[in-house]
Structure 1
Amino acid sequence: MTTRLLTRVKSKLFVHSRRRSRNVLEGEFASVFHGRSLDYDDLRDYVPGDEVRDIDWKATARHTSPLVRRYVATRKQNVMLVIDTGRGMAAAARGGEPKKSVAITAAGLVGYLAQRHGDLVGLVRGDATSTVAHELRGSEAHLERLLRAIDAATTLDGEASNLAAQLQWIVRNVRRRLLLLVVADDVELDTALSDLLRRLHVQHEILWLTVEDADPTSVDPDRTAVDVADHYTIPTFVRTNAAVKAAYAQAVAERTRATNAVLDGAGINHIRVGSSDDVLLAVFTLLERQRRASR
């Protein structure tokens, strides 16, 4: 029987994160939304980054080490996973695995945190020719279906990406406030996206995660390197050429600077990851930045 995708996501969370770290990650997630209605739940150990005002001083005196109050939401929030499922996301990531595996890990982690807090999770996915929306629900079974939809839709023979189409769908069709996790291919963002992103950012909380490409100039010379954009096989003598290596590295650096400028200009917290092993720290970093920006 095929391993459930959500089970794989959970295994990464539990292998790479001790209990205290998981508590911090969940606390960061819960604090992202502005004005969230919260009720007291229980106490946990203080960790760097917690609000001093949340320390329970009476309980701390009895326990001899700082304890903070933990809260739970009294109303459900809505989390929308916005995932690029164009063929570029079926190519290899910097760490060697398919980029869609990184996207599934990120979507699964944020979806799992949301589901644990009783929040609703939906999905908008697509490419240059189509956008598909999956409704908001709150069960693990639903989250598993979303992850499988991402996996099935992202293929090497699929259509090219056009993430702007999926973001436009949200602008046209969504009126309620959302937390958007956008997982994007490593392509330069058209500056025309700036206005669209600014419009989205006014209404929604946005976390942006870019999945980095594998470096074709560093691939083992005995292996074949193919550009999935046009299925062109890159000759070994080309990708091992020192001048080509230098030019490729410069192009990546310039594309990264341009993409960062667009996202920074729109006020969107963003991060780059190269493998699914990077996702846990990346999501924590994004949530922490978003929490601090929300103060």
Structure 2
Amino acid sequence: MGSLLHRVKSKLSIFAHRRARGMLEGQYGSAGSGRSLDFDDLRAYVPGDEVRDIDWKATARHGSPLVRRYLPVRRQTLLLVTDTGRDMAAESRGGEPKKDVAVLALGVMGYLAHRHGDAVGLVCGDSAGTRALPGKTGEAHLERLLREIHDSASLDAAPSRLQTQLDYVARTFSRRMLLLVVADEFAPDADTERVLRRLRAQHEVLWLTVRDADLAVPADSYDVAGARAARGAALLPALMPGGVAASASIAAAYARARDERDAARQSMLRRLGIAEADAGSSDDVIPAVFTLLARQRRRR
């Protein structure tokens, strides 16, 4: 299997021309740390930048707005927190395994942290236990983290229980960090809110939801043969039989239950002041990261 980090960088190259990449890196830099008075460099102004950061003399010479960038007050640690239970081996809304979407999202944030000079650590696991890899710098270390996530999330893994990993982070890490939590469309409960409230008091927390497959698609309208050839029978979603999925009342009940679960999760995260975005496929990941960082910046 090829390098997972190479896939991340290729996706960034396709998406981000120079100006957009500068905006993405700038949004990351402001997500979890302040800034000093030490000037770093200039870059093109993009919507959302602080007007006070515009360098008017350089703008006059250049002919278009330029903003000053400053060195961060301190380097930080980005902690990637994700579920690697069997649920993450199931199919996403876009048709690929949810773990592939998660790896890309975690890899994009990890690579931004690497470019920023920050250390990146990992906490992952399932209901049976948690694994942690300490924060370090360097592309080889980031590749190791992504490989750990990819290889751990399988149909042979224990059932997912993200709260196990959240509890571990709350007990283990006291120094303030930037946390990126990646999970699927789980239904929150009082215990989850309790531990997230504690984490939010200790750390900056970002949340990205990987969208589940739409299981109400009738099986007789799904390209089972093509999906089996592309991904293997084990990763096919548990689709409803055609007659069941075709029932308007059942489809409406399914959609209502999904919407209620989403609303409960989003309401909880809003109460706690945690920025959330979602991605249903790999193509959604980088726009979702943009959205997530922009929301976090507005909350600061």
With the shorter chain as reference, the TM-score category is over 0.9
Counterparts in 2 of 1:233 and 1:211: CA distance versus 1, 3 Å: closer
Post-superposition CA distance 1:97-152 (Å, at most 9, x none): 10001100110000000000100000000101110000100100100000000000
Asked if 1 retains the 8 angstrom alpha-carbon contact of 2:217 and 2:240, the reply is no
C-alpha displacement of 1:54: 1.0
Deviates more, 1:107-116 or 1:58-67: 58-67
Q: Secondary structure at the match of 2:38?
A: strand
Counterparts in 2 of 1:71 and 1:236: CA distance versus 1, 3 Å: same
User: Could you tell me how far apart the structure 2 residues matched to 1:271 and 1:17 are?
Assistant: 19
Q: Which residue of 2 aligns with 1:26?
A: 25
Q: Which residue of 1 aligns with 2:230?
A: none
C-alpha displacement of 1:252: 0.7
Q: Which runs of 5+ in 1 are unaligned?
A: none
Asked if 2 retains the 8 angstrom alpha-carbon contact of 1:13 and 1:280, the reply is yes
User: Could you tell me how far apart the structure 1 residues matched to 2:204 and 2:121 are?
Assistant: 15
Counterparts in 2 of 1:250 and 1:41: CA distance versus 1, 3 Å: same
Q: Which residue of 1 aligns with 2:265?
A: 259
Question: Which of residues 277, 283, 287 is equivalent to 2:283?
Answer: 277
User: Could you tell me how far apart the structure 2 residues matched to 1:272 and 1:64 are?
Assistant: 38
User: Could you tell me how far apart the structure 2 residues matched to 1:273 and 1:219 are?
Assistant: 23
C-alpha displacement of 1:243: 2.8
Asked if 1 retains the 8 angstrom alpha-carbon contact of 2:218 and 2:241, the reply is no
C-alpha displacement of 1:234: 4.6
Q: Secondary structure at the match of 1:31?
A: helix
Q: Secondary structure at the match of 1:216?
A: coil
Q: Secondary structure at the match of 1:217?
A: coil
Asked if 2 retains the 8 angstrom alpha-carbon contact of 1:194 and 1:265, the reply is no
Moved over 4 A (4+): 222-225, 231-234
Deviates more, 1:75-84 or 1:146-155: 75-84
C-alpha displacement of 1:176: 0.7
* Pairing 1:231-270 to 2, within 5 Å after superposition: 234-270=240-276
Post-superposition CA distance 1:60-112 (Å, at most 9, x none): 11112111112333632100000111111110100001000110011000000
State the aligned residue count: 291
**Which amino acid letter does the alignment assign opposite residue 264 of structure 1?**
R
Asked if 2 retains the 8 angstrom alpha-carbon contact of 1:73 and 1:117, the reply is no
The CA RMSD over aligned residues, in Å, is: 2.1
Q: Secondary structure at the match of 1:44?
A: strand
Q: Which residue of 2 aligns with 1:128?
A: 127
Superposition TM-score, scaled by structure 2 size: 0.91
Q: Secondary structure at the match of 1:126?
A: strand
Q: Which residue of 2 aligns with 1:87?
A: 86
1:6 aligns with 2:5: yes
**Which amino acid letter does the alignment assign opposite residue 198 of structure 1?**
R
Deviates more, 1:160-169 or 1:29-38: 29-38
Counterparts in 2 of 1:274 and 1:38: CA distance versus 1, 3 Å: farther
Deviates more, 1:68-77 or 1:26-35: 68-77
Q: Which residue of 2 aligns with 1:155?
A: 154
> Equivalent pairs: percent with the same residue?
55
C-alpha displacement of 1:40: 1.6
Asked if 1 retains the 8 angstrom alpha-carbon contact of 2:83 and 2:126, the reply is yes
Asked if 2 retains the 8 angstrom alpha-carbon contact of 1:122 and 1:136, the reply is yes
Asked if 2 retains the 8 angstrom alpha-carbon contact of 1:186 and 1:212, the reply is yes
Deviates more, 1:254-263 or 1:110-119: 254-263
C-alpha displacement of 1:19: 0.9
C-alpha displacement of 1:232: 6.7
C-alpha displacement of 1:250: 1.2
Q: Which residue of 2 aligns with 1:207?
A: 206
Q: Which runs of 5+ in 2 are unaligned?
A: 228-233
Q: Secondary structure at the match of 2:277?
A: strand
Q: Secondary structure at the match of 1:69?
A: strand
Deviates more, 1:248-257 or 1:20-29: 248-257
User: Could you tell me how far apart the structure 2 residues matched to 1:177 and 1:75 are?
Assistant: 12
